[in-house]
Structure formats: C-alpha cells, structure tokens
Amino acid sequence: MGKDSTLAPGISLGEEILSQNTTPEKQAGAEAFGKKNYQKAIASFKASLQNNPNDPEARIYLNNARAAKNNRDIIKIAVSVPIGSVQPIAEEMLRGVAEVQEEINQDDDAISGKSLQVVIANDNNDEKKLTQDVAHKLVKDPAIFAVIGHNASSASV
C-alpha cells in the first residue's frame, strides 16, 4: 500500500499554501482543511477569492474542500508545477486545471457522479532531485489517478 503524497512538504490538497500569493483567509482555509473542517475551509477560501478572484490555488483548494464535504466518490489527480520558482507559469497552469475541475464537479454526469480533487505539487522546474522526489511521492500514492505536468522538459522524469 502506498503512502498519501499530501503528507509530504510541497505537495498539497489544501492543507498547505504553496504559492507566495496568499491572504489571511487563504491561510485560515488551509488550516481548516488540514483539520478536516471542510465547512470552515470552504468559507475561508471563498473569502480569500473575494479579495483575489484570480488565485487558482485558492480556487482548487475550494473545489477540493467542497468535494471532501460532499458524500460523492472522489477521483484524485495531481498537477506538478514550478510554484516555488516560476509562479506566473505555475498560476497559468493551475488556472486551467481549476476551471476544468470546477466544470467537472458541477456536472453530476461528468465522471459518473464522482468529484475531482486536485493535488498541487511544487517541482520548481528542478531537473534533478526535487522533481524526482515529487514524481516518486506521487507514483507511490495509490489514490492519485493521473498527473498533469511538468511545464518544462528539463523537469520531466
């Protein structure tokens, strides 16, 4: 049995802020998510998005909290982005993922009534150790169905 990849630093379902772009509300949402208080996490991420509506990390975490709160089965995917080193590129990638996640989760027929959760992994476009560590952690997590990324071929394993 594999290990839950979100227990590793730099990999988050909503319990850790990876972006430098944060608000107190977003931080409160992450803390609530980490404690599995999804209702509070939802309220906090919504409040953060009121202040910064173009924040894809907060939108993904909001969608993840909503998915965790409802009683539907979940399909979990990961997206590996350079959020710690090339934030503008990472945010553009995450915006696309967040939009599709939201569309899927609003359509009960999209994936047989299941919700989509997105794990965000910071690979920093590191062509050596960090990217390999992230890839190994994601592969060992049996709950992750697919991985999107990396943005640079030098970061691909």
Task: Count CB neighbours of 76 within 10 A.
Answer: 20
pLDDT digits (tens, 9 = 90+) for 97-133: 999 999 999 988 888 889 999 999 998 876 666 667 7
Name the pairing type of β-strands 74-81 and 115-122. parallel
pLDDT digits (tens, 9 = 90+) for 9-25: 889 999 999 998 899 99
78 forms bridges with which residues in the sheet?
Answer: 119, 147
User: What does the pLDDT read at residue 156?
Assistant: 47
Task: Count CB neighbours of 73 within 10 A.
Answer: 11
Task: Count CB neighbours of 135 within 10 A.
Answer: 20
pLDDT digits (tens, 9 = 90+) for 21-65: 899 999 999 999 999 999 999 999 999 999 999 999 999 999 999
Full residue range of the structural domain in which residue 112 is found: 5-155
Domain count within the chain: 1
pTM of the model as a whole: 0.89
Q: Which of 47, 53, 65 is nearest to 101 (CA)?
A: 65
| pLDDT over 70 at 155, yes or no | no
User: What does the pLDDT read at residue 36?
Assistant: 96
